[in-house]
């Protein structure tokens, strides 16, 4: 029984990646090509070589070189639509990263990777919150899942996963499907970070409910201080209740109480010669039910009338019971000359 010699995991992954890159070749040709590679990998591993993909470079480039050296048609993107758009993007990125000038920048980026790991956990949580529009009301940039406790649990879980992926990702060979998936995840989260950031910047002020006291609509009809009036009782300064006083405002408009829209069969409404009904005469009087008789024409609220001492205006008012003394000269009785 021959011994089977297994490859270290990253070498095996590399080999699989190569196999994928050469998937368009006939099986035996591909196997022959890769057999040499596999053998050398095993020997290299036995000799204690590490970092196979660092030594060999990205699988796609390795596979390309294999093809060229072996005289096989190159793997062009126009070939039967083999390479997807993602592959092209990944290839461009890889070529960029392979540039020796990027080494310093990459090393620096590697140092800061843990910060990105935490940031992407937040972005992942925020992405869900953004889709579901469930943010904290206190801090609009903080996602909220049900209760505060649950939100904390979710965020801690995301952070843990992200950190684990970050550490694990360091050991994944470049070019493998696993690495490709990780790159895709990072790109997706980086892309999602944009709307999340827009949201976070947008809603800086926390949402507070403001109760605005909207003044009530002015009441139609006769009101005093917002409350409807039922009647007005005009008295003279001498304490006499007036009847059928017509009231007008400063615009000459009648101050109506009620109107045609509020017919009250018991209300005593004054009528003009032309048949118009007046609703601005006060006090408003009501008939006894089923009659045309006002029961108490002098009725009024109990009012304690004040003693007015201010001298009256030019036109004196009619006194109760007394004949009017007007300034206008009485018409002289026709005298025979």
Partner 1 sequence: MDRSQLLRGTLDAAVLATVAEQDGYGYDVLRRLRGAGLNDVGDASVYGTLRRLYRGGALTSYVMPSDEGPHRRYYGITDRGVALLDEARLTWADFSATLNLLLGMDVGVTA
Binding residues for partner 1, rule: CB under 8 A, are 2-3, 5, 32-33, 35-40, 42-44, 46, 56, 62-71
Q: Smallest distance, Å, CB 47 to partner 1?
A: 10
Q: Smallest distance, Å, CB 183 to partner 1?
A: 23
The single residue listed with the structure tokens 């007046």 is: 278
Preceding omega of 87 cis (within 30 degrees of 0): no
Q: Please identify, using beta-carbon distances, which residue of 64 and 87 lies nearer to partner 1.
A: 64
Q: How many CB atoms lie within 10 A of CB 293?
A: 9
Backbone phi, then psi, for 220, in 5-degree steps? -75, 155
d(C-alpha 16, C-alpha 177), whole Å: 9
Q: Please identify, using beta-carbon distances, which residue of 91 and 270 lies nearer to partner 1.
A: 91
Backbone phi, then psi, for 95, in 5-degree steps? -65, -40
Quote the DSSP letter at residue 43: H
Please report, for residues 212, 277, 284, 311, the alpha-carbon distance to residue 289 in angstroms, rounded to integers and kept in the order given.
Answer: 47, 20, 15, 44
Q: Please identify, using beta-carbon distances, which residue of 57 and 221 lies nearer to partner 1.
A: 57
Q: Please identify, using beta-carbon distances, which residue of 72 and 178 lies nearer to partner 1.
A: 72
Q: Please identify, using beta-carbon distances, which residue of 70 and 109 lies nearer to partner 1.
A: 70
Q: Smallest distance, Å, CB 14 to partner 1?
A: 11
Q: Please identify, using beta-carbon distances, which residue of 59 and 143 lies nearer to partner 1.
A: 59
**Beta-ladder partners of 228:** 223
Among candidate residues 234, 232, 242, 233, the one with its CA nearest the CA of residue 319: 242
Q: Smallest distance, Å, CB 71 to partner 1?
A: 4
Q: Please identify, using beta-carbon distances, which residue of 34 and 196 lies nearer to partner 1.
A: 34
Backbone phi, then psi, for 65, in 5-degree steps? -65, -40
Quote the DSSP letter at residue 77: T
Helix (H) or strand (E) holding 227: strand 227-228
Residue by residue, DSSP assigns 160-186 as HHHHHHHHHHTTSPTTSHHHHHHHHHH
| Non-local CB neighbours of 282 within 8 Å, separated by 6+ positions | 231, 232, 233, 234, 244, 245, 246, 247, 257
Q: Smallest distance, Å, CB 113 to partner 1?
A: 29
Q: Please identify, using beta-carbon distances, which residue of 66 and 159 lies nearer to partner 1.
A: 66
Strands 227-228 and 223-224: antiparallel
Tokens of 208: 């507070």
Q: Please identify, using beta-carbon distances, which residue of 14 and 145 lies nearer to partner 1.
A: 14
Q: Smallest distance, Å, CB 119 to partner 1?
A: 38
Q: How many CB atoms lie within 10 A of CB 11?
A: 24
Q: Smallest distance, Å, CB 31 to partner 1?
A: 11
Q: Smallest distance, Å, CB 29 to partner 1?
A: 8
Q: Smallest distance, Å, CB 130 to partner 1?
A: 45
């Amino acid at each position: 029984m021959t011994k089977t010699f297994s490859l270290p995991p990253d070498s095996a992954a590399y080999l699989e990646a190569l196999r994928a890159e050469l998937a368009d070749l006939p099986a035996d040709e591909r196997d022959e090509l890769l057999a040499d590679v596999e053998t050398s990998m095993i020997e290299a591993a036995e000799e204690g070589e590490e970092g196979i993909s660092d030594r060999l470079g990205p699988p796609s480039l390795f596979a390309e070189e294999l093809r060229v050296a072996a005289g096989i048609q190159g793997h062009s993107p126009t070939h039967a639509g083999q390479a997807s758009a993602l592959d092209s993007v990944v290839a461009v990125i890889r070529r960029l990263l392979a540039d020796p000038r990027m080494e310093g920048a990459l090393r620096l980026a590697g140092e800061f990777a843990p910060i990105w790991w935490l940031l992407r956990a937040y972005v992942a949580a925020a992405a869900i919150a953004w889709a579901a529009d469930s943010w904290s009301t206190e801090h609009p940039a903080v996602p909220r899942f049900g209760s505060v406790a649950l939100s904390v649990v979710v965020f801690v879980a995301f952070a843990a996963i992200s950190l684990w992926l970050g550490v694990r990702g360091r050991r994944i060979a470049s070019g493998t499907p696993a690495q490709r998936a990780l790159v895709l995840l990072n790109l997706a989260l980086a892309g999602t970070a944009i709307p999340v950031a827009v949201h976070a910047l947008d809603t800086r002020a926390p949402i507070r409910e403001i109760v605005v006291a909207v003044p009530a609509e002015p009441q139609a009809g006769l009101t005093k201080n917002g409350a409807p009036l039922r009647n007005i009782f005009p008295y003279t300064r001498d304490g006499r209740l007036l009847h059928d006083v017509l009231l007008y405002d400063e615009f000459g408009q009648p101050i109506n109480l009620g109107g045609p829209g509020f017919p009250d069969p018991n209300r005593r409404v004054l009528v003009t010669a032309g048949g118009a009904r007046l609703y601005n005469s006060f006090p408003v009087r009501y008939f006894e039910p089923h009659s045309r008789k006002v029961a108490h024409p002098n009725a009024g609220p109990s009012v304690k009338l004040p003693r007015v001492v201010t001298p009256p205006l030019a036109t004196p008012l009619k006194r109760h019971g007394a004949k009017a003394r007007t300034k206008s000269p009485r018409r002289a009785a026709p005298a025979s000359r």
